Chains A and B, each alone.
Chain A
Amino acid sequence: MTAVTAGTTGTTGAPGVSDTAVAATQAAYEAVFDAAVAADERIEPRDWMPEAYRASLVRQIAQHAHSEIIGMQPEANWITRAPSLRRKAILMAKVQDEAGHGLYLYSAAETLGTSRDELLDKLHSGRQKYSSIFNYPTLTWADVGAIGWLVDGAAITNQVPLCRCSYGPYARAMVRVCKEESFHQRQGYEALLALSNGTEAQHAMAQDAVDRWWWPSLMMFGPPDDESTHTAQAMAWKIKRHTNDELRQRFVDIAVPQAEALGLTLPDPDLRWNEERGHYDFGPIDWTEFWDVLKGNGPCNDQRLSRRRQAHEDGAWVREAAAAYAEKHTGKHGEAQA
């Protein structure tokens, strides 16, 4: 969409322009925006967009970016103990990818006028969230496999539709991210398969990890539709394309046969194929736990955030040095300082 560009925001009138004229301009901008969204066109950074749309995107992209970088921690926990060099290389590359995803996403958020520093500050002060899944601990090596299979798998289910999100930079970031996420999912599945087919102890380790990660993975899709505050508006704006419950069902339908192929069970006695619906039925989710973890009471909330803050504080002198160096050396060449 290029018909209306920012710069003339339409929200402030020039002196002498009547309120009615301003309102009329605003309405015209909105009509163009709505038409673009309705026609499945992409909204680009210079296009006019409603403030609420912008705010909603910033909130979602920031939360997504934060999840990528906090999500490095539970898996980095096993880099130094990876049981073979091949697994170690795969895990390192995966954790590196997640850092890269963070970079793409913070860049996408920057196109909306928010800097990475600002967003990190909000993460560190607890004003913005990250996915609650990362507030669970990785207790054994098998957790690395379970995260790849289930957590990255759930992330893909969520993110594939985001490749068609109405906001261009976010949609394009998602295309790159999804390619890598599907590799993450496959390596997790493959790591679990090796464990499941391995010794008795390895099999037990895999089963235990799946037992612990299954329900939190289902919670990754967010609260049920009737309790989700953001879904309706996000869908109207085509930021979101499916409801939380639709995506959750899609994930369950994919995961159940995969669990069977892995030779592992899922910890839900109510899980069974429903011929009529053409979907798997599954048992009730413990939303009390979900809200509790979200509020900060998960097993690792404090740990994850303190580790993040610590890394940021420990790195302050490095960032200051880089800035000071850049300033000195740009200055020497006589280039203008921002």
Chain B
Amino acid sequence: MSTPDTRETAGPGVETSAITAAALALGDDALVLSHRLGEWAGSAPVLEEEVALANIALDLLGQARILLSLVGDEDELAYLREERSFRNAQLVEQPNGDFAHTIARQLYFSTYQHLLYGQLAAGDGPFAGLAAKAVKEVAYHQDHAEHWTLRLGDGTPESHDRMQRACDTLWRYTGELFQPVDGLDLDHTAMESAWLDSVTAVLTKATLTVPTGPRTGAWAAGAGRQGLHTESFGRMLAEMQHLHRSHPGATW
């Protein structure tokens, strides 16, 4: 159904809150990764990458704005929530590091997001329309990340080492992407195995070793989707929210 009738299915408010949870998870992923990519402006390794990284950041910001607006005021949600209320996966909040880390993060995330939006676009849920548009954008993000993974992995010994280190470091944040999210009726197991196949193929072609470490943290309390984030995220939010919060009620 295209407009969910909450009463018929799960009782008043229940489905709405599930949709809210899903929109926040997807929206926060896009918002936070867009912000991190925006930090590159003026520092990219080549001019073409200034354009490419900004392109991806802008696509993600566009997605975030649509998703957050589904459940409230986009600026209130972005600027006035505390760290513990953000529902993004920890992967997207990881600091940019060197260009290899940025690319590894993008490869892992875009591969996931492409599968996710592909599934959502094929369904008839509340995100189908957004997903149908976004899946095309994300196909480009994934392609961009794959090309750079090949160049860095199969480039020079230095770039190979850097890319391997980045893939290894970020590996432990990838399991969280496939934890079920309330309001998203998806085949997470199928998505996860498709993700593993895709990432394995790219890394192998790039002469990189598929990391073997754990794909989730040991802390049973959970991760980003439960509002538990890594330490650098608080500083990121402090910077992002400072000006908005300094002028309560102002419009910009």
Contact = CB atoms under 8 A, between A and B. Distances in A.
A95 B200 CA distance: 35
Interface string B128-154: 000000000000000000000011101
Contacts of B150: 325
B50 interface: yes
A179 interface: no
Interface residues of B, number: 48
Contact of A79 (B41, B47, B159, B162): B41
Contacts of A321: 151-152, 155-156, 158-159
Interface string A292-326: 00000000000000010011001111111110111
Contacts of A127: none
B190 interface: no
Nearest to B155: A321
Contact of A199 (B75, B99, B151, B247): B247
B99 A324 contact: no
B218 interface: no
Interface residue SS majority, chain A: helix
Contacts of A76: 41-42
A329 B250 CA distance: 55
A292 to B, nearest CB: 25
Given A102-B47, A198-B250, A79 B38 contact: yes
Interface in A252-274: none
A315 B244 contact: no
A96 B247 contact: no
B197 interface: no
Contacts of B74: 85
Contacts of B151: 321-322, 325-326
Interface string B38-52: 110111111110110
A278 B243 CA distance: 43
User: Which one of A88, A100, A199 has the greatest number of beta carbons of chain B within 10 Å?
Assistant: A88
A330 to B, nearest CB: 13
B140 to A, nearest CB: 15
A194 interface: yes
Contacts, number: 143
B248 to A, nearest CB: 9
A310 B154 CA distance: 25
Given A84-B75, A199-B247, A92 B61 contact: yes
B80 to A, nearest CB: 12
A231 to B, nearest CB: 30
B244 A318 contact: no
A191 B151 CA distance: 41
29 contacts: A73-B42, A80-B239, A81-B239, A81-B243, A83-B252, A85-B78, A88-B38, A92-B38, A92-B58, A92-B61, A96-B41, A103-B47, A106-B47, A141-B243, A198-B252, A199-B247, A199-B250, A201-B250, A202-B247, A307-B42, A311-B44, A315-B46, A316-B45, A317-B158, A321-B151, A321-B152, A321-B155, A322-B46, A324-B156
Given A72-B50, A201-B247, 18 more contacts: A76-B41, A80-B38, A80-B239, A88-B61, A89-B62, A92-B41, A92-B54, A92-B61, A95-B42, A96-B54, A96-B55, A96-B58, A102-B47, A103-B48, A141-B252, A198-B250, A307-B43, A315-B45
Interface of A: 69, 72-73, 76, 79-89, 92-93, 95-96, 99-100, 102-103, 106, 116, 141, 191, 194-195, 198-199, 201-202, 307, 310-311, 314-322, 324-326, 328-329
Q: What 7 A-B pairs come out closest when comparing CB atoms? A: A315-B45, A321-B155, A321-B159, A96-B54, A99-B50, A76-B41, A318-B45
